[in-house]
Amino acid sequence: MTLMLLDSASLWYRAYYGMPDTLLSPSGMPVNAIRGYLDMTARLVSMYSPNRLVACIEGDWRPSWRVELFPDYKANRLEADSEEEEEPETLTPQIPVLLDLIDAFGIPMVGVDDYEADDVMATFATREKGPIRVVTGDRDLFQLVDDKKDVKVVYLAKGISAHDLVDTKWVANKYSIPGDRYALFAMFRGDPSDGLPGVRGIGEKGAALIANHFATAEDAFTAAVQGHEALPPALAKKIIAGEEYLKIAPTLVHCARDVALPQMSIEMPGKPDDLSEIYRIKDEYGLGASVDRLIAALGW
């Protein structure tokens, strides 16, 4: 009864950089991201045998409500003099083809205006029954792990074959913090990939100390002001100096869990009566065995 949530942009970026750029369509267009995404999805479906599946996509990779709070949110990813995310030019034309193919397979696909894919996944993970497996290469989503509900992150940093299945014990062992406090840890440490500075002067060790003694940023700030014995004076001073950032950090770092998702079936797609559209795209773009592997993994 497993629900698998695919962080689609994370997968196609990983496929793009992990697959050779010599994989070309008959017209000469690179198809490495498309083929890699299909191959990864097929392997994941075969490994985890989900009965529910959602390809989650970005409605907006820089939601207005996060940017209003913190204008530098993901600004490090912007092209110069542009509001568009910097994206490899040979990846850009592959994405519409991949989305058309996901749709042709009947795989449920969800993106919501002004929300990131992370927020969509977090909302599904909150409202749906477990077990739930969140597939991503993004450690931000470690905040979703929940042993009681059986929510785990299929973490692809080491690739599919050597991926980690992240639960609270994994987080605890990796960062020396309570496994359900990753988001708090990230608030203080920061995340350069999202342009989030964290609290000035506080690195992993300081963030871990805070996460081990306090459950929220507000609790940590109050403790710093009161001179709590768990906080060395120098660390308490840094927390107090970061007061303004800590007011907005929870909204920036926590995934939204109340996104208005569309009403739709998220069951595994059944075999359509007509596979001609899938085969048309397969032939036009030279996707060969990658399409066949996904068809086989779906049991068609």
pLDDT per position as a tens digit, 244-274: 999 999 999 999 999 999 999 999 999 999 9
Distance, in Å, from the CA atom of 55 to the CA atom of 102, rounded to the nearest integer, reads 8
Predicted local distance difference test score (pLDDT) of residue 82: 55
Question: Band of the pLDDT at 75, cuts 50, 70, 90?
Answer: confident
Q: What is the pLDDT of residues 76-130, one digit of tens each?
A: 887 644 566 667 899 999 999 999 999 999 999 999 999 999 999 999 999 999 9
Predicted local distance difference test score (pLDDT) of residue 171: 98
Distance, in Å, from the CA atom of 143 to the CA atom of 62, rounded to the nearest integer, reads 19
Sequence-ordered list of residues with C-beta below 8 angstroms from that of 289, at least 6 positions apart, any chain: none
Residue-range domains of the chain with CATH: 3-171+259-297 (3.40.50.1010), 182-253 (no CATH)
Predicted local distance difference test score (pLDDT) of residue 173: 98
Which residue type is seen at 101? L
Distance, in Å, from the CA atom of 221 to the CA atom of 219, rounded to the nearest integer, reads 6
Predicted local distance difference test score (pLDDT) of residue 266: 98
Going by C-alpha positions, the residue among 299, 251, 261 that lies closest to residue 105 is: 299
Question: Band of the pLDDT at 141, cuts 50, 70, 90?
Answer: very high
Q: What is the pLDDT of residues 279-300, one digit of tens each?
A: 999 999 999 999 999 999 999 9
Predicted local distance difference test score (pLDDT) of residue 231: 98
According to DSSP, residue 133 is labeled: E
Distance, in Å, from the CA atom of 198 to the CA atom of 14, rounded to the nearest integer, reads 26
Predicted local distance difference test score (pLDDT) of residue 193: 82
Provide Rg for the chain, Cα atoms. 21
Please tell me the least confidently modeled range out of 37-46, 80-89, 129-138, 213-222. 80-89
Question: Band of the pLDDT at 195, cuts 50, 70, 90?
Answer: confident
174, with CB counted inside 10 A (0-12, 13-18, 19+), is middle
Distance, in Å, from the CA atom of 49 to the CA atom of 38, rounded to the nearest integer, reads 16
Distance, in Å, from the CA atom of 235 to the CA atom of 242, rounded to the nearest integer, reads 11
